[in-house]
A = this chain, B = another copy of it.
Amino acid sequence: MITTFAGESKHFLDDKNRLSIPAKFRRWGDGEDPENAFFITKGSDPCLVAYPEPEWEIFTEKLKKLSQFKKKNRAFIRTWSRNSVRLKCDKQGRVLIPQEHLDFAGIKKEVIIIGALNYLELWDPETLAKHQESQIPLDDDYYEDLADIL
């Protein structure tokens, strides 16, 4: 069982591109996961997405079921896999994020870390603000649909 991530923090990259993972996001489940590694990918939104290793594996197992005889499946699997990097926290609870991933999300120094239930999102503050502004507000139809499951 994975701990549910919630809340947000602001941290800073240091000169070595290391990012402290907030302590509350650093441990999960029953603590029996010895490594507590994350997989970081490029998100569908302009941010990085960090999955605890078990979550990433669950998702990846689903992907394996896609037929590789469909061009779009191959493309998706390829992209997913290329963009995934396994990152282990150092003894101070930091991960070293590849420059290419930082560039994708426009992260320079400041990082907003959002706990989004079973994954984390890493945002550049400005990019996040702009994204929130340009966001189409959730409309009544959406809430109608939500109401069906909530």
Instruction: List A residues at the B interface (Cβ < 8 Å).
Output: 4-8, 24, 39, 44-45, 57, 59-60, 62-66, 68-69, 71-72, 74-78, 81-82, 84-86, 114-119, 121, 135, 138, 142, 146, 149-150
Contact = CB atoms under 8 A, between A and B. Distances in A.
A71 B44 contact: yes
Contacts of A75: 135, 138
Contacts of A64: 4, 117-118
Q: Copies per complex?
A: 2
Contact of A150 (B62, B71, B150): B62
A77 B116 contact: yes
Contact of A76 (B45, B84, B146): B146
A135 B79 CA distance: 12
Contacts of A57: 4
B142 A86 contact: no
A72 B135 CA distance: 9
Given A85-B7, A138-B72, A149 B65 contact: yes
A50 to B, nearest CB: 13
Contacts of A44: 68-69, 71, 74
Given A24-B86, A65-B149, A138-B75, A117 B81 contact: yes
Contacts of A114: 78, 81-82
